[in-house]
Chain A
Amino acid sequence: MLIKRRYPVKTIFFATIFIAAILAILPVPYWFVPYRPEWIALILIYWSMAHSEEINIGTAWAIGLLTDVLLGSLLGLHALSFAIIVYTSIRFHARLRVSSLAQQMLFVGIILLPYMLIMLWVDGMLGRKINTIIYFTHIFSSILIWPWLFLFLRMLRLKLVI
């Protein structure tokens, strides 16, 4: 049974990525910076769950490269992380879909962990000393915001019949 879609999924997908990117570099008060959720990663996880056939690792990798330029990090760092994140999400998307929100939060935390570990590893290799608590606050706030993001995007999808 094919549901007629009013908007192409790809457009909505890129639109949400666009907004996530803006949120990622939006100027915020300095005390808020460690608590910024990983918007782009979260959006990627969501779309991998919802439309695993539309999104693929290549797209995620390219978005990762764009994120590297956006954030000024080492080229390929976020590309690598996003490729891994999307791989994991697509692989387990069926299981994720049917989990409760709380369980999803746990999964999100587990998925984001390699992401952070890779960043930590690369920072270590480059010899940069960064306050390591920041990594954990990032994951923490990302997990916290997941339910809201999930519900919001699902509502969006229902409205737009995607």
Chain B
Amino acid sequence: MKSRHLQASSLILKLTFFIILSLGIMTADHKYQHGQQLRKTIGLLILPIQYISMQPGKAVYWIKDNFIKHQELVDLNKILKEKNLFLESKLYKLKALENENKRILSLLGTSKVFQKHKVLIGEVISINLDPFRQQFLINKGSKHGVEVGQPVIDSHGVLGQVSSINYLSSTVILITDSAHSLLVESERTGMFILATGSGKKDELRLQHIPPNADLRIGDLLITSGLDKRYPKNYPVAEVTSIQYQKGDSFAAAKARPHGKGDRGREILLIGSTNDQH
């Protein structure tokens, strides 16, 4: 009896002690941040409990994954293949668009040079209309205000000029065509040279070069502007070879045009300047 009585009162004492302790910890955890440290320490003890209680959920997923029906897999595979095909084609289109964007941007960079002139962007439709001629078709015509004789360039150099127009398209004759000549200037020396097309792709013939002329391989040839056709100071070609045989009146020189011609796609048409017609 006595021990029971003692037990009861000691119990109450214990309870009171723990109540106060708990209240203290609760306040500390709520008001201050001491609780975090204690949590971390105790948390280590908790780990096995947490780990075990995760297992049933994991087991369910495992079973679900491993016992998925064959038919479901086949269906899923089909859907994924279709999606993949669709996405791949989109990817190609995207790449093509990216490249076109790059080219157009570089063309527009060029157009700043011709601030006084009206500029029109066009696209090459087809190349080698006549295998003996150097010309191509572009997608701009009289509807767009294209005129015969308009210079056509790309971001690398002069391409040629418009030789005939239709309503929606025009023919451009390249500087490499044998019927075409333009007067160029050596950028280094200022010497004027007549550049005629050879009829061969990527080859210009430089006419009437005096034997002792100051011309070197690698010289850049630019438009002189003297023909009132092509705008001045635009790159045309680069000298590739100079040959002189004793007894000839002139040296034979060849140059390679900078313009990409049939290899590019977007081209610029230079219109007349705004203050002249």
Contacts and interface: CB of A to CB of B under 8 A. Distances in A.
Range, interface on chain A:
20 to 34
B22 A79 contact: yes
B6 interface: no
Contact of A91 (B8, B25, B46, B50): B8
Nearest to B45: A66
Nearest to B39: A69
Interface in A116-132: 122, 126
Contacts of B15: 57, 83-84, 87
A23 B50 CA distance: 10
Q: Which of A65, A69, A75 has the most CB of B within 10 A?
A: A75
Given A22-B52, A25-B53, A74 B30 contact: yes
B21 A75 contact: no
A58 B42 CA distance: 16
A15 to B, nearest CB: 12
B11 interface: yes
A90 interface: yes
B98 interface: no
Contact of A27 (B39, B49, B56): B56
Nearest to A64: B22
**Which secondary structure characterizes the binding site on chain B?**
helix
Interface string A21-50: 111011100000000000000000000000
Given A21-B49, A75-B26, A66 B21 contact: no
B26 A65 contact: no
Nearest to A86: B15
Nearest to A75: B29
Contacts of B29: 74-76
B70 to A, nearest CB: 28
A61 interface: yes
Contact of B23 (A21, A65, A80): A80
A61 B22 contact: yes
A74 B18 CA distance: 16
A77 interface: yes
A22 B38 CA distance: 21
Contact of A83 (B19, B24, B35): B19
B71 to A, nearest CB: 27
Given A27-B57, A66-B46, A70-B46, A76 B22 contact: yes
A66 B11 contact: no
A44 to B, nearest CB: 14
A64 B19 CA distance: 12
A83 B18 contact: yes
Contact of A80 (B26, B49, B52): B26
B43 interface: yes
A24 B270 CA distance: 81
Nearest to A60: B18
A77 B42 contact: no
Contacts of B22: 61, 64, 76-77, 79-80, 83
Nearest to B29: A75
A69 B43 CA distance: 6
A152 interface: no
A56 interface: yes
B14 interface: yes
A136 interface: no
Q: Across chains A and B, which 3 residue pairs bring their CB atoms closest together, nearest first?
A: A76-B25, A80-B22, A76-B26
Interface of A: 18, 21-23, 25-27, 56-58, 61, 64-66, 69-70, 74-77, 79-80, 83-84, 87, 90-91, 122, 126
19 contacts: A21-B46, A22-B49, A23-B53, A25-B50, A57-B11, A57-B15, A61-B21, A65-B25, A70-B46, A70-B50, A75-B26, A75-B39, A76-B26, A76-B29, A79-B21, A79-B25, A80-B22, A87-B11, A91-B8
